[in-house]
Amino acid sequence: MEIKLESDGVCLTLSTVDKEKNIEFKTLVKAYEIVTGDELEITENNTEKNSHSTVANSFDDNRDDYDRMPEYHQPVKVDLMCPWCGNNEETTTLYGNRFMKCPKCGNKVFLAFATSRRGVPDHRGFYYKANEVWRDYEDRKVDDDLIDQMKSKLEEHNA
């Protein structure tokens, strides 16, 4: 048996010496982990109908993380780097907010999650990173209108 795994420019080929033998499931899982960089957890599912192994991705949402997730409007840490005035400090805001005002200049700053998962702090304990200008609907609309005007002028000029 021969199997080829490819992911993001990495290629791994597995084959058995005896072409009629199969590659073990755990070996396939390890090969997958090497090629993709994802860590998998093998669990045994024993049911009356069938008995087989399944693979669970360890990066999937974990129920324990939701138990530790802060309640809405609970104070959480923010890593602030104000794009308006350059204020760089650790501060707090209420969990669930989409923006905060800089304590120094008072301008609105967008709150992005500190990790790829909502409600999970980074290694320094921050739930949010605040380093982008907050753009509300009107601001985005004005920017979009300006871009549309620029595109139409460019098309007129090139015609």
pLDDT digits (tens, 9 = 90+) for 115-156: 988 899 999 999 999 999 998 888 778 888 888 888 888 888
Tally Cβ neighbours within 10 Å of residue 109. 25
- 47 and 104 in a single domain? The answer is no
- 49 and 18 in a single domain? The answer is yes
- 81 and 38 in a single domain? The answer is no
Residue finishing a domain among 57, 76, 103: 57
Domains contained in the chain, number? 2
Residue ranges making up the domain that contains 128: 68-133
- 84 and 53 in a single domain? The answer is no
User: Considering the domain boundaries, does residue 139 fall inside one?
Assistant: no
User: Considering the domain boundaries, does residue 129 fall inside one?
Assistant: yes
Q: Give the whole-number percent of the chain exceeding pLDDT 90.
A: 36
User: Considering the domain boundaries, does residue 151 fall inside one?
Assistant: no
pLDDT of 59:
40
Q: pTM (2 decimals)?
A: 0.50
User: Considering the domain boundaries, does residue 29 fall inside one?
Assistant: yes
Contact 82, 105 (CB under 8 A): yes
- 102 and 129 in a single domain? The answer is yes
- 83 and 116 in a single domain? The answer is yes
User: Considering the domain boundaries, does residue 12 fall inside one?
Assistant: yes
> What is the secondary structure of 58-111 as a DSSP string?
TTS--HHHHHHSPPTT-EEEEEEE-TTT--EEEEEEETT-SEEE-TTT--EEEE
User: Considering the domain boundaries, does residue 142 fall inside one?
Assistant: no
